[in-house]
Amino acid sequence: MRILVIDDDANGAETVRRTLVAEGWVVDVANNGDEGFMHALHGRYQAIVCDIMMPGLNGYEVVRRLRAEQVWTPVLMLTAKDGDYDEIDAFDLGADDYLTKPFSVEVLVARLRALIRRGGPGRPAVLTAGSLTLDPSAHLVHRRGEEVALTPKEFSVLEFLLQHVGVAVTKTEIIDAVWDNNFDGDLNVVEVYIGYLRKRVDRPFGCASIETIRGIGYRLVAVD
C-alpha cells in the first residue's frame, strides 16, 4: 500500500508516517497543500491522509481540485476542528472520511484499511493469478491453499506484480510503487526482491510464475 500524508504539522505527520510504515505501507509526506496536491495528482496512491488547516492550499481546496481533475483516490481528512459544518464541507467537496485531532493511531489505521477496501474501483478484494492469491486487507499470501510468509517489502512487490498480471513492468515502475520518494539506491534492489519472491512463492511449488523480460523487467503470469 502506498499512502500520501499531507500535513504542515511536521511532528504530527511524522507520527502518522511511522505508524503506517510499521503496518508495512509505503508513505510519502508533503508538508503543505500545494506540494501535496502535486504528489496526489501525479502519484499512484491507495489513500491520502490530508489535514484541513494548512498554509497555501488548505485541505478542502486540495480535495476539491483533485476531484475536479478526476483523481478519485480515497481521502481521509484530519483536523482539529470538530464542528458539524466542517465535516459536511469535507464530504461535500469529495472527502471519503473524517477524523478529528487528537485521534488514536489504531483508529486511523482501521479507517484507512476500510477506505482502501472501498476504493480502487474494479480491483478485486483478493488478487489472484492461477494458484497464487494475495489478500491485501488480511495481509496473507497463499499458493495452492498453503500460506506463504513474506516480509512487508516482499508482500508489496508481489502485490504490485499481481495488480499487473500478464504485463511487463520495469524496475523503475516497481521502485516508484513500492519504495518511497527518497529512494536513491540501486535499481537492482528489485532484482534481489524478485529473487526472494521466487524462493518463496515459486520454487517450493515447482512453479515459475515470475518471468524476467530481458531489457524490460518482470512479468507475473498465472500458473496452477
Residue 34 grid cell = 500545494
Asked if 63 contacts 93 with a C-beta cutoff of 8 angstroms, the reply is yes
Whether the model clears a pTM of 0.75, i.e. scores above it, the answer is: no
Task: Output phi, psi for 139, to 5 deg.
Answer: 55, 50
Q: Among candidates 164, 157, 155, which has minimal Cα distance to 137?
A: 155
pLDDT in tens, 81-105: 655 545 666 666 678 888 888 888 8
Render each residue's pLDDT in the chain as its tens digit; 224 residues. 799 999 999 999 999 999 999 888 999 999 999 999 999 998 889 899 999 888 889 998 998 888 888 788 899 998 776 555 456 666 666 788 888 888 888 999 999 988 887 764 444 468 899 999 998 767 899 999 999 999 989 999 999 999 889 999 999 999 988 887 778 888 999 999 999 999 999 999 999 999 999 999 999 999 99
Q: Among candidates 119, 112, 162, 171, which has minimal Cα distance to 141?
A: 162
Strand pairing category for 97-100 and 146-147 = unpaired
pLDDT reported for residue 102: 84
Asked if 140 contacts 134 with a C-beta cutoff of 8 angstroms, the reply is yes
